[in-house]
Structure 1
Amino acid sequence: MRIPRQTVVAAGTIVAAALLGSSSMPAATSSPSSDVAVSVAPEQLSVVGLPCFPSTLNLTMTNTGSQDRYADLTLEPTGPLQLSRTLFSSWLPAVDPDQPVSAPVEVRVPRDTKPGAYKIDVEVDRNRLTVPVTVEPLPSKGPGDNLALGEQATASSTHGNFTLCGAVDGDKDPEHWDTLTGWNDGTRAVFPDTYDVALSAPATVNRVELYTLDSVKYPARLNGLRDWDVQAKVGGAWQTVAQVRGNTLGHVTTTFDPVQAEAVRILCLDGNDHTYSRIVELEVYGT
């Protein structure tokens, strides 16, 4: 099962006093001219109601005028859309060449959101464009599916260069470690660390796939997770169902007797460099 994070169509742009010609994007409202050009990418988003599977809208403002200025970009979502920010404010210098200023916005919806069409209105200096957002049906998670994908993760700590959801986002490529994916704890040379994922509903699980850091630049034997316990939350209490010691591989499959679990935890006991706990991706499977 593979879920696209978002559907990218193109980068949409509004410039003050200009109308958008795209049939999929309403024209910016007529208003006094502005010297701020604004672009959004992508023009259209798709999102599913998984707590750790947001879509991302990238905003960019550029001062096209001759005077330095400060600008406020506001976002107004409709219906159940939840944004990580509704205001993007920045100082915009008037320089040649132009100096764009950008910021990302994460878009989520609750798990029970009805599939359908929604929108986000983006406005600067009373010029407005609309970003269509399609809420897709939740993916099925039955036998053979990764029960951890996109579900709510928690951790004992998270390093500032990483995101909590990075190890359940479906990207297990260790070459993306520094830029796109994975989890790294935030307490150097302090163990144990924990990384948990709550299942959407109690399920019978018997296998965990753990991908730790193992790239050309950072091999697992030097930088990967070395020792850990696999734990399952059963009846509100954590119990150890498997142990791994002395690991030097980037991908480890752990099987154990089936248990009815509410959540799964990796109790990180040591790394091969004895500094950090690093998980590229955690997958959970059941019978």
Structure 2
Amino acid sequence: MNIPRQTVIAAGTLLAAALLGSSSVPKATTSDVAVSVAPEQLSVVGLPCFPGLLNLTMTNTGSKDRYADLTLDPTGPLQLSRTLFSSWLPALDPDQPVSAPVEVRVPRDAKPGSYKIGVEVDRKRVTVPVTVNPLPPKGPGDNLALGEQATASSTHGNFTLCGAVDGDKDSEHWDTLTGWNDGTRAAFPDTYDVALSTPATINRVELYTLDSAKYPARVNGLKDWDVQVNVGGTWQTVDQVRGNTVGHVTSTFTPIQADAVRILCLDGNDHTYSRIVELEVYGS
């Protein structure tokens, strides 16, 4: 009689365990790596510059230095900026956590609903629930730039490209939570663009430059710039701002159908960087 090989191996293992004593039975693998994820649940929406953000943390709770791999397994339409977080974890006292961010995005046409991300280290698994919300309405009176795809001539390492279309126009959050800063010191011009989801007739742009108690606009804000719109692949200037010293400037112009909006930054008040806290675009 032919017995399947894996059955023979299993029977042999059990027999050996019985002969040698119960202490020889293989034990379940335990992990000396503690894993935490913040937040414990997440909401996202299908706008290119509205990613959800998870912070992954691994901590070596054991007595020996080791290397650990944390893997992420998303379901449905969830797209992650990384699916692997690897790190050397020293065994120090007190324990030293090692962290890494992960951006979570979904396509614009993602179906609203409940999904999840599996987070695993040493076969120990944590599940993060993720809710995909419907797209926000963008009709008359709505900010057409909110969360849409941004591009720039350069971006400083302390900032994110999407920082100027994230809906936060508070300069007090500058360089920690919001805003865009170019990455070429004392070199102008710089450009910051936002692509509209569909061609739209627009007639107003609101620009918020850096203006806080610590960093007033007259010293650190954007001084000179052109507002441009993209029509059929060509950039057209619809407004010019010169000698600005305030934090919020409204540009109005004849309604025009455009695919994208650009801020052509020509100078800052400190002549070093281009700084935009928020860019808003409105249609007629």
Q: Assess same fold via TM > 0.5.
A: yes
Which structure carries more helix by proportion? 2
Counterpart for residue 23 of structure 1:
none
Counterpart for residue 249 of structure 1:
246
Q: Deviations over 1:144-164 (max 9, x none)?
A: 110000000011111111111
Q: Partner letter of residue 147 of structure 2?
A: G
Q: How does 1:4-83 map to 2 (within 5 A)?
A: 31-83=28-80
RMSD, matched Cα: 1.1
Counterpart for residue 21 of structure 1:
none
Counterpart for residue 186 of structure 1:
183
Q: Deviations over 1:182-230 (max 9, x none)?
A: 1111111111111000000011111111010111111100110000010
CA distance, structure 2, for counterparts of residue 103 and residue 142 of structure 1: 37
Residues 234 and 262 in structure 1, CA contact (< 8 A), matched pair in contact too: yes
Counterpart for residue 218 of structure 1:
215
Q: Deviations over 1:227-252 (max 9, x none)?
A: 00101111221101111110000111
Residues 31 and 126 in structure 1, CA contact (< 8 A), matched pair in contact too: no
CA distance, structure 1, for counterparts of residue 123 and residue 46 of structure 2: 31
Instruction: Pick one of 225, 228, 232 that aligns with 1:228.
Output: 225
Query: TM-score scaled to structure 2, two decimals?
Result: 0.89
Partner SS, residue 161 of structure 1: coil
Judged with a 3 Å threshold, the aligned counterparts in structure 2 of structure 1 residues 126 and 230 are, in CA distance, closer, same or farther, namely same
Deviation at 1:260, TM superposition (A): 0.5
Counterpart for residue 127 of structure 1:
124
Q: Which runs of 5+ in 1 are unaligned?
A: 1-29
Q: Deviations over 1:26-52 (max 9, x none)?
A: xxxx95111111011111111000000
Q: Name the % identity.
A: 87
2:265 paired with 1:268: yes
Count of residues in correspondence between the two structures: 258
Q: Partner letter of residue 204 of structure 1?
A: T
Counterpart for residue 10 of structure 2:
none
Give structure 1 regions of 4+ aligned residues with deviation exceeding 4 angstroms.
none
2:157 paired with 1:157: no
Q: Partner letter of residue 40 of structure 1?
A: V
Counterpart for residue 199 of structure 1:
196
Instruction: Pick one of 105, 110, 114 that aligns with 1:113.
Output: 110
CA distance, structure 2, for counterparts of residue 57 and residue 31 of structure 1: 29
CA distance, structure 2, for counterparts of residue 178 and residue 54 of structure 1: 18
Query: TM-score scaled to structure 1, two decimals?
Result: 0.88
Q: Which runs of 5+ in 2 are unaligned?
A: 1-26
Instruction: Pick one of 129, 138, 143 that aligns with 1:141.
Output: 138
Partner SS, residue 280 of structure 1: strand
Residues 31 and 127 in structure 1, CA contact (< 8 A), matched pair in contact too: no
Q: Partner letter of residue 76 of structure 2?
A: G
